[in-house]
Amino acid sequence: MADNIYIKNRPATFEYAIEDRLTAGIVLTGSEIKSIRASKVSFNDSYCFFDRNELWIRSLHIAEYVNAGYAGHIPVHDRKLLLTRKELKKWHLKVKEKGLTIVPLVILINDKGYAKVEIGLGRGKKVHDKRETIKNRDVEREIKRYLK
């Protein structure tokens, strides 16, 4: 049943140093899941936040499904993420204490056909860290070129 849908948030790993990762379920409507299967997702400035001990994702743009008719959805609204209570408490404490941010990294469809979001606990990078990331990426690219 896997459709091999794997949509990455590429700027997230550039903007944040990811310390921990977790896969969470996401509450969607029918037209939203069809848009995800069509890869119509944008992560621009999306992030996760806690509200009443629940984790929500904000600013995730899922384009409207063309054939939805009257049962369409709003492209940008808050969507609930599904995690266990233990995981929620652990991440909530980390975000409060250390000033970390939870960012969505990947949206994927698992083997059972459910949409999942891989989220990461990230610390914002400084400008010099971003330059170092670019330098390391260029060095790795050059090494791969010479090995071919």
What pLDDT does 91 receive? 93
**Domain residues of the chain, as ranges?**
6-147
Do residues 86 and 78 lie in contact, with contact meaning Cβ atoms separated by under 8 Å? no
State pLDDT tens for residues 19-49: 999 999 999 988 999 999 999 999 998 999 9
What pLDDT does 129 receive? 86
Q: pTM higher than 0.95 for the full model?
A: no
DSSP line for the chain: -----EEE-HHHHHHEEEEEEEEEEE---HHHHHHHHTT-EE-TT-EEEEETTEEEEES-EEPPPGGGGGG---SB--EEEE--HHHHHHHHHHHHHH--EEEEEEEEE-TTS-EEEEEEEEEEPPHHHHHHHHHHHHHHHHHHHHH-
**Quick one: CATH architecture of 6-147?**
Beta Barrel (2.40)
Q: Which residues of the chain have pLDDT under 50?
A: 1-2
- Euclidean distance between CA atoms 49 and 54, whole angstroms: 8
